[in-house]
Structure 1
Amino acid sequence: MSFAKLGLSDSILKALTDSDYQKPTEIQQKAIPLILKGEDIIASAQTGTGKTASFVLPMLELLNNGDAVRGRSIRALILVPTRELAKQVDTSIQRYGKNLNLSSLAIYGGTDIDADKEKLAKGIDILVATPGRLLDMAYQRNLFFNDLEFLVLDEADKMLDMGFIDDLNKIIDRLPSDRQSMLFSATLDGKVRYLADTVYSDAVEVKVSPKGKTPNIEQWMIAVDKDTKSALLSHLIKENDWDQALIFVEKKHSAAKLVEQLAKRGITADSIHAGRSQAQRERVWNDFKTGKLQFLVATGVAARGLDMQNLSRVINYDLPYPAEEYIHRIGRTGRAGQKGEAISLVSKDDFKNLCMIESLLNHLLERREIEEFPIRKAVPISILNYHKR
């Protein structure tokens, strides 16, 4: 199927062609026609499936055929969990809508709020926002929702994990009921299901690609003692002459510590985490994306929304919890049909998380040994997953 068969206008199709997008992904094929028909949707879609375009493209199409925006009003609202994702979504809007007379803006904490107020005063067609900054603007009466036509909750699972449920409820209570709503999440279980049931009525549910399915990514693990992890990582980088890697840790203090440990072994790295300013995070990410920086250490939350098409590999220095976060992490590599590599450094303390990840994947991670790093505390093999195999 081509994008032309999904009901998009020539102006949008030209922008897609200019971006070298030729064939819609599974989520795009399923979601775009439903949104163009005016349906509310609840979609289960993982990182790297093309979900941003699946709601941005039909919204641009519908907004382009509607009325012009009025001062301090918005026509579409996209809520996201992190500033990085807000910027990424806004960049996609501008790319896909470059041939349309529509305006967009991303607002999030850590930026000049007065500059945002000035832009909002002129009226914005599509606003991408983190919940906290949006409420700040609403409380100060710097934007209004009277003309709102569309609401998107993007990465709803992460917004709930980050404790945004009260903010989301406050925002939704302010919105007109006569709107088209869309929710995208890696999982529709638990809190996300409850949110979906309270926000959406008669929504069409869309599911793509069984969770854990990552055909373009070679996944493997190394069992390692906790106190030799940084030495092993340094060994892998040097012995394999890795060109680049995104390295995930669980806590921000772990990120800074690992950068220091790598530096002592002659490896230059930098970090992105919640303790760094927006300007610092942008500088580090741009250095990494352009190849100026080879190794980036990041916490999972900070890395949400960081999009890079040609990332060779992802390293799980710490295994994540919950298990679904593993899919988000490794989805940073192997994008757009390219091959990627995901390597996990697993100590005995990680066994519980490993079991949950392998249950999600429905297969064991391949185990490889590094002769120079014999393990003292063995990591067991999950009996449950062993029998599944």
Structure 2
Amino acid sequence: MQFQDLGLAEPIIRALAAKNYDTPTPIQAQAIPPLLEGRDLCGVAQTGTGKTAAFALPSLDYFHRNPKHTPLHSTRMLILSPTRELAAQIADSFRDYARFMRLTIATVFGGVPINKQIRGLQAGVDILVATPGRLIDLIEQRAFHLGGVEIFVLDEADQMMDMGFIQPLKRLVKMLPKERQNLFFSATMPKEIAELGSQFLNDPVRVSVAPQSTTAERVQQYATFVNQAEKQALLTHTVKTEEIDRALIFTRTKHGADRVVRYLEGAGIAAVAIHGNKSQAQRTAALQAFRHGHVKLLVATDIAARGIDVSGVSHVINFELPNVAEQYVHRIGRTARAGADGIAVSFVADDERPFLRAIERITRVKCEVVPLPENFAEIQRNLPKPAPDRRGARPGPRGDGRRADQGRGARPERGSPDRAHRPDRPQGERPQGDRVHAERPRGERPARAAGQGAPGAGAGEGARRPFRPRGKGGVGQHQGAVRKFEGR
């Protein structure tokens, strides 16, 4: 089957030819025909299988055949993405496919000035790619509304759930018009994701091009058992001895990612980090340097890396294993793209062995165990010192990327699976001190001792002086507030 056999509009076929795309991927071949008919769709496909084109091409065909003015402060097509990088990537793909069409395409996400986004949306846009948080900010400021949406796309739904976007998603869905086409895509489809899709899909066509939670067939998967404190030495040795075109290195925490980069730079190895603490300009610069080959190592957390679509990634290195098995699928899906082969290497500490067993169980693939190098003790002793950070400080002596991070400020990234699944104390339980209010029943106040009343109160009464705002006698703009308070 060729793209021209699917019945797409001529400008879209011309744009695909300009990119030398002639044969659709399995997800595209199965999704495009029902979407052209206006059906809702629930698609399950691994990362890198062409999901973006699967919903972009039929949507652009709809715009070509149904031209109309875009409503002010609204959009005709809304695409929700979990991360900034993925949103920018989707928008770039739409611009490529719509290069011979007169359509407006915009992105809104955090990390950039909101006023500039407000101005860009005043006249309305045909296609908007947004992250949920910033989109809600725009709606709350009455700078945007969803009344003009005709096509709604939820991409990477499983990552949305991992990042805690369920309530914002439900809130946004209620704002959408009832008459619309819905497209739902996810790399995995656990029960919770299926329930989410059922809330807004109407008699959808279901498309799946791979068994649930399987990994790419062309990825060779290896595991090395190593102490946590020795992982940095193993990583430095691996990078120096392996033939690596481009490698993505995953850590659990933002501080851990920065620490890994400083150790690599101390060994004379160029690397950049991308995570939630970086500004949008820093994240874009790091991704561009990695994409164009200026650096071959990109150290990332799971959330920041979800939107990375870079060809030529030969290796994925799990410096730390995720404690959610499905996240491993997303990680190694960054390699072996577009028909290429790939290698996934995992460094497994003793406390991570249960994570590895869960990963092998859900992927149905057993990683080949690779022993430590014969002279690893010497490699560990000769590990170069890390490069100092911008403040001139160096990481702790362990340099393990995690245990030295257990102090203040080393929590997992907000919204990450590690943060979402960490054990919490029972709800409502607080550490109890020796203060008197820790044990008193709710609603009771301890009686004040004689002479210890509030300022201005009679001795022993514990009375309080009525609230008076600062100013000249509580008059003027504060007068109404004072009367309201005293009238309670």
Taking structure 1 as the reference length, the TM-score comes to 0.93
Q: Which residue, out of 335, 338, 346, partners 1:336?
A: 338
Name the aligned partner's letter for residue 83 of structure 1: R
Name the aligned partner's letter for residue 107 of structure 1: V
> In structure 1, what is the Cα distance between the partners aligned to 2:140 and 2:63?
26
Q: Which residue, out of 254, 266, 271, partners 1:252?
A: 254
Quick one: structure 1 residues 247 and 6, their matched pair in 2 at CA, closer, same or farther if it must change by over 3 Å? same
Alpha-carbon shift at residue 48 of structure 1 (Å): 0.7
1:18-61 C-alpha deviation (Å, 9 max, x unpaired): 11222111111111111111111111122111101100111010
> In structure 1, what is the Cα distance between the partners aligned to 2:129 and 2:297?
29
Q: Would you say the 8 A contact 2:246–2:312 is kept in 1?
A: no
Taking structure 2 as the reference length, the TM-score comes to 0.75
> In structure 1, what is the Cα distance between the partners aligned to 2:118 and 2:259?
38
Q: Secondary structure at the match of 2:199?
A: helix
* Larger displacement relative to structure 2 (98-107 or 220-229): 220-229
Q: Which residue, out of 364, 367, 372, partners 2:369?
A: 367
Alpha-carbon shift at residue 373 of structure 1 (Å): 6.0
> In structure 1, what is the Cα distance between the partners aligned to 2:30 and 2:244?
38
The residue aligned with 1:175 is: 176
Alignment of 1:198-347 (within 5 A): 198-210=199-211, 211-347=213-349
The residue aligned with 1:13 is: 13
Q: Would you say the 8 A contact 2:223–2:345 is kept in 1?
A: yes
Structure possessing the higher relative contact order (Cα contacts under 8 Å, 6 or more residues apart): 1
Q: Would you say the 8 A contact 1:81–1:158 is kept in 2?
A: yes
Name the aligned partner's letter for residue 258 of structure 1: V
> In structure 1, what is the Cα distance between the partners aligned to 2:71 and 2:43?
31
> In structure 2, what is the Cα distance between the partners aligned to 1:295 and 1:373?
25
| Structure number having the greater strand percentage | 1
Name the aligned partner's letter for residue 274 of structure 2: I
Task: State the Cα RMSD in Å.
Answer: 1.5
Q: Would you say the 8 A contact 1:64–1:102 is kept in 2?
A: no
Alignment of 1:44-63 (within 5 A): 44-63=44-63
Alignment of 1:16-55 (within 5 A): 16-55=16-55
* Larger displacement relative to structure 2 (1-10 or 150-159): 1-10
The residue aligned with 1:386 is: none
The residue aligned with 1:146 is: 147
Name the aligned partner's letter for residue 174 of structure 2: D
* Larger displacement relative to structure 2 (96-105 or 216-225): 216-225
> In structure 2, what is the Cα distance between the partners aligned to 1:6 and 1:137?
37
Name the aligned partner's letter for residue 59 of structure 1: S
User: Which entry has the higher C-alpha Rg, 1 or 2?
Assistant: 2
Q: Secondary structure at the match of 1:76?
A: strand
In the alignment, structure 1 segments of 5+ residues that lack a partner are 376-389
The residue aligned with 1:102 is: 103
> Is residue 353 of structure 1 aligned with residue 355 of structure 2?
yes
Name the aligned partner's letter for residue 287 of structure 1: A
Q: Would you say the 8 A contact 1:74–1:145 is kept in 2?
A: yes
The residue aligned with 1:387 is: none
> In structure 2, what is the Cα distance between the partners aligned to 1:205 and 1:240?
41
Name the aligned partner's letter for residue 246 of structure 2: Q
The residue aligned with 1:119 is: 120
Instruction: Count the aligned residue pairs.
Output: 375
Structure 1 runs of 4+ aligned residues shifted over 3 Å read none
Name the aligned partner's letter for residue 215 of structure 1: E
In the alignment, structure 2 segments of 5+ residues that lack a partner are 378-488
Q: Secondary structure at the match of 1:238?
A: helix
Quick one: structure 1 residues 146 and 242, their matched pair in 2 at CA, closer, same or farther if it must change by over 3 Å? closer
Alpha-carbon shift at residue 167 of structure 1 (Å): 0.8
> In structure 2, what is the Cα distance between the partners aligned to 1:308 and 1:148?
31
Q: Would you say the 8 A contact 1:80–1:129 is kept in 2?
A: yes
Alpha-carbon shift at residue 216 of structure 1 (Å): 2.2
Alpha-carbon shift at residue 241 of structure 1 (Å): 4.6
* Larger displacement relative to structure 2 (264-273 or 295-304): 264-273
> In structure 2, what is the Cα distance between the partners aligned to 1:353 and 1:9?
47
The residue aligned with 1:380 is: none
Percent identity between the two aligned chains: 43
The residue aligned with 1:91 is: 92
1:57-96 C-alpha deviation (Å, 9 max, x unpaired): 1101001211231322210000010000000000000000
